[in-house]
Structure 1
Amino acid sequence: MVRISRGKKVLIVTLALLILLIACYRFLANISYQANRQITYGVTFSKEFAKYLGVDWEKNYLAILDDLKARYIRIPVYWNQIEPEKDVYNFKDIDWQVDEAAKRDAHLILVLGRRQPRWPECHDPVWVQGLDAKLVRAKILQNIELIVNRYKNNKAVEIWQVENEPFLDFFGECPKISKRELGEEIDLVRKMDNRKILVTDSGELSTWYPPIIMGDIFGTTLYRTVYNKYIGYFNYFFVPASFYRVKAFLWGKPKDATIVAELQAEPWFPEGPTQTDLEKQLKGMNAAKLKANAEYANKTNFYRAYFWGVEWWYWLKVSQNNNSVWEAAKQYFK
């Protein structure tokens, strides 16, 4: 009788488990896939990022609606813009964006809470510095209530997003938010309006718990190339699109309740957008890469994906005389 060493036994068991895991993954990927299902595309638009790039933000927004003809738009509501001074509110710019969307039967996601899309994530007004934490918390809840009450009767608002990637603590300049606090904000919105609530998380850097179980809709980020100061650029070439679908399936989240809230469509800017060489930017994102990312997102089988970078497309078009990415994107909004 041939005796198998302990080392070989461990290797055989490990290989058998690996084969079993791969087989299970492929099975789940297949049963969760719906052939001929097409994703719908939208964009995230940040007035502040457009201004940072030096473009006319209103023209940028109107071009999204009238030239690209995007009909699904996610809009951050930054605290420092709506309450620049304590108890002094200014909703003029958000009102305008919502009203222009309504004129064109566009559908909006309004982002509520302290943590919002775009660096540094938390856009606190200056007067908040040094304020007691309990008073800050009360203000956050008060502002959520104000925003929901202001826009809940506007037909353009389709979904409320509560916070942005709330538990991605290591990214951005934000105080931590607890599960209890996030739940409190979600409950507050539910009491005031019956629209669906979106909660988001990182697609590649998180298990998705607990955000995926807290809202009606779950939104994942989807990045193909990222930058880290320790290793430089890193590409997720080894991650199949089915990874996101299987992950949602294992959490029991239907495809019709899962979106790509942030689909990479701009380059990663390690030195910042205005400090990064244009040639380097176009290596990180261009018309071909935008198309590849869009098609990759479609393979997730989720029902919607919001491009991240429409302000950069517009900047390329009007400031750099390069409309290649803008024109390439048009096919996704027909």
Structure 2
Amino acid sequence: MSQPVDRHKINPTSLASNRWRGVVKSTGYAVGVVLVVLLVVFGYFNLPGPAPREDVHLGMTFSSRYATDLGLDWREAYRALLEEVGVKKLRIPVYWDLTERSSGERDFSDVDWQLDEAERAGATVILSIGQRVPRWPECHIPAWAKERPESERQEALRSFMKETVERYRDREVITTWQVENEPFLVFFGECPPLDVDFLEQEVSLVKKLDSSRPVLLTDSGELSVWYRAAKRGDQFGTTMYRMIYKGGWGYVTYPIGPNFFRAKERLVRLLTDQDHFSVIELQAEPWASGWVANVPLEEQFITMNERLLEENVTYARRVGFEDIYLWGGEWWYWLKTKKDYPAVWEKGKELFRRYP
């Protein structure tokens, strides 16, 4: 017969120690399960993807601002991309600060010219509008608008977007309106805080003014799950970067394969009505440690050269989206004309001939 336990003889330290060991053991199991799941997911993302898709169409984002910053004649660079490289699908930003330098005084002549040249070359255009459009510092807000309260700035932007759509909605060269660029990537760029309600108002405004064209929203390929952008647009576009410079880490290659993007596409299809996916920004220029024009070519070529350009296009083809817009044609032209290095330009011509 067992003896009754004398509770006064139980060691409180021993009880606490046993409880602590139990907590540690349970935590260890949980961490182990999480690690196994992460390893399985990581392994899936890096399994060999399907064969590269053959029937893709390459396009190009062109920024007059970036070309000018590189010291180029931006019109000359634009024409060369159309005529020499053979670009037939373009994404062109309308820079609010360059178009409306003074409140109410708008000059669309640069955009007019780009659309005219695209039309002449038989190309089509995604027109990117809003305060946040391609190229640094991401948000391109006129100085006069920055000084205004948020409500007044938003009303000024709404007015600018309205005139832009009304001006160009009869131009057949435009296939799609892009409203803002990666609006949910709030930690990147020099921008006001994101106002989701206002973003939805922008989308509604464009659809009301032109119901004949789809509205495209975009998001980061590596740093987002896409859901918030994809559910608000008629079409969705992802960025796609392979190697970047990260301060403190140096040059880093994203450890993800094409299945990473394919899995996100499947998830978004399940959660939304979205059925049109594209690569809207495929890395085709360096992500350098500083302003690219000041970085030695040898360092630039760590993250982009003619070999890496073809590898990136092949990677994007394995993801399987039909349209792939490249990011960096201005840099190709800068290498060719300012640095006497035409190899990347020539590789670009070859790729556009292969995947027009």
TM-score normalized by the length of structure 2:
0.85
Task: Say whether residues 1:199 and 2:251 are aligned partners.
Answer: no
**What is the alpha-carbon distance in structure 2 between the residues aligned to residue 240 and residue 24 of structure 1?**
9
Percentage identity across paired residues of the two chains: 40
Q: How many residues are treated as equivalent by the alignment?
A: 326
Matched ranges for 1:246-285 at <5 A: 246-252=263-269, 257-285=276-304
- Are the counterparts in 1 of residues 230 and 274 from structure 2 also a CA contact under 8 Å? no
**What is the alpha-carbon distance in structure 2 between the residues aligned to residue 78 and residue 299 of structure 1?**
33
The answer to which of 42-51 and 10-19 deviates more is 10-19
The answer to which of 181-190 and 15-24 deviates more is 15-24
Q: Which residue of 1 aligns with 2:237?
A: 219
**What is the alpha-carbon distance in structure 1 between the residues aligned to residue 200 and residue 187 of structure 2?**
21
**What is the alpha-carbon distance in structure 2 between the residues aligned to residue 173 and residue 216 of structure 1?**
27
Q: Residue 231 of structure 2: SS of its match in structure 1? A: helix
- Are the counterparts in 1 of residues 51 and 318 from structure 2 also a CA contact under 8 Å? no
Matched ranges for 1:1-334 at <5 A: 36-193=53-210, 194-236=212-254, 238-252=255-269, 257-334=276-353
- Are the counterparts in 1 of residues 44 and 259 from structure 2 also a CA contact under 8 Å? no
- Residues 320 and 180 from structure 1, CA distance in 2 versus in 1: closer, same or farther, beyond 3 angstroms? same
**What is the alpha-carbon distance in structure 2 between the residues aligned to residue 162 and residue 85 of structure 1?**
22
- Are the counterparts in 1 of residues 280 and 325 from structure 2 also a CA contact under 8 Å? yes
Q: Residue 210 of structure 1: SS of its match in structure 2? A: helix
Q: Which residue of 1 aligns with 2:9?
A: none
Q: Residue 106 of structure 2: SS of its match in structure 1? A: coil
**What is the alpha-carbon distance in structure 2 between the residues aligned to residue 13 and residue 55 of structure 1?**
55
**Equivalent position amino acid for 2:220 in 1:** S
**What is the deviation of 1:331?**
2.1
- Are the counterparts in 2 of residues 245 and 255 from structure 1 also a CA contact under 8 Å? no
**Equivalent position amino acid for 1:224 in 2:** R
**What is the deviation of 1:316?**
0.4
Q: Residue 346 of structure 2: SS of its match in structure 1? A: helix
Query: How far does the alpha carbon of each residue in 1:270-312 deviate from its partner, in whole angstroms, 9 at most, with x for none?
Result: 2112221122112221000000000000011011111111000
**What is the alpha-carbon distance in structure 1 between the residues aligned to residue 276 and residue 69 of structure 2?**
33
Structure 2, unaligned runs of 5 or more: 1-24
**Equivalent position amino acid for 1:171 in 2:** F
Q: Residue 295 of structure 1: SS of its match in structure 2? A: helix
Q: Residue 227 of structure 2: SS of its match in structure 1? A: coil
- Are the counterparts in 1 of residues 52 and 317 from structure 2 also a CA contact under 8 Å? no
- Residues 121 and 23 from structure 1, CA distance in 2 versus in 1: closer, same or farther, beyond 3 angstroms? closer
Larger Rg: 2
**What is the deviation of 1:321?**
0.8
- How well do the aligned residues superpose, as a CA RMSD in angstroms? 2.5
**What is the alpha-carbon distance in structure 1 between the residues aligned to residue 31 and residue 196 of structure 2?**
41
Q: Residue 226 of structure 2: SS of its match in structure 1? A: coil
